[in-house]
Amino acid sequence: MVFHRMNMHTNKREKTFCIIGCGRLGTNLAVYLTGQGYAPTAFSSRSPASARNAAAHAGGGKVFENAADAARCCELIFITTPDILIEPVCDQVAQAGGFGKNCVVFHLSGALSSEILASAKKAGADTGSLHPLQAFAPYSSGQTSPFAGINISIEGTPTAAAVGRNIVAALQARAFTIPTDAKTLYHAAAVVASNYLVTLEHFALTLLARTGLDQARAFEILEPLIQGTLRNIASKGSVDALTGPIVRGDEDIIARHLADIDSKMPQFSAMYRLLGRHTLDIARMRSDFPKAADQRLAGLLEKDT
- Dihedrals phi, psi of 43, to nearest 5 degrees: -135, 140
Of 34 and 81, which CB lies nearer to ligand NAP in the complex structure? 81
Of 85 and 258, which CB lies nearer to ligand NAP in the complex structure? 85
Of 25 and 163, which CB lies nearer to ligand NAP in the complex structure? 25
Applying CB under 6 A, does 260 fall inside the site for ligand NAP?
Answer: no
Q: Which helix (H) or strand (E) holds 152?
A: strand 151-156
298: nearest Cα among 285, 288, 283? 283
Binder of ligand NAP out of 8, 12, 101, 135 (CB under 6 A):
135
Residues 6 to 65 in contact with ligand NAP, rule: CB under 6 A: 20-26, 45-47, 50
Binder of ligand NAP out of 40, 132, 245, 249 (CB under 6 A):
132
How many Å apart are CA 294 and CA 283, to the nearest integer?
Answer: 9
Of 11 and 47, which CB lies nearer to ligand NAP in the complex structure? 47
Residues 138 to 197 in contact with ligand NAP, rule: CB under 6 A: none
* Shortest Cβ 113–ligand NAP spacing (Å): 12
# binding residues, ligand NAP (CB under 6 A) = 27
* Shortest Cβ 22–ligand NAP spacing (Å): 5
192-186-164-82 Cα dihedral, nearest 10 degrees: -70
Of 82 and 299, which CB lies nearer to ligand NAP in the complex structure? 82
Of 52 and 248, which CB lies nearer to ligand NAP in the complex structure? 52
Q: Are 167 and 130 in contact (CB under 8 A)?
A: yes
Q: Are 116 and 86 in contact (CB under 8 A)?
A: yes
CA distances from 80 to 104, 105, 269 (A): 14, 11, 42
* Shortest Cβ 153–ligand NAP spacing (Å): 10
Contacts of 176 (CB under 8 A, 6+ apart): 151, 152, 153, 154
Residue nearest to ligand NAP (CB): 23
Of 22 and 73, which CB lies nearer to ligand NAP in the complex structure? 22
Residues 104 to 123 in contact with ligand NAP, rule: CB under 6 A: 107-110
Parallel, antiparallel, or unpaired: how do β-strands 174-177 and 151-156 relate? parallel
Residue by residue, what is the 3-state secondary structure of 214-226? CHHHHHHHHHHHH
CA distances from 187 to 109, 184, 195, 201, 233 (A): 9, 5, 11, 21, 20
Find the part of the chain contacting ligand NAP (CB under 6 A) among 131-139, 175-183, 194-202, 226-234: 131-139
Find the part of the chain contacting ligand NAP (CB under 6 A) among 2-10, 31-39, 126-134, 163-171: 126-134
- Amino acid residing at 231: R
Which residues of the chain form contacts with ligand NAP (CB under 6 A)? 20-26, 45-47, 50, 67, 80-83, 85, 89, 107-110, 131-132, 134-136
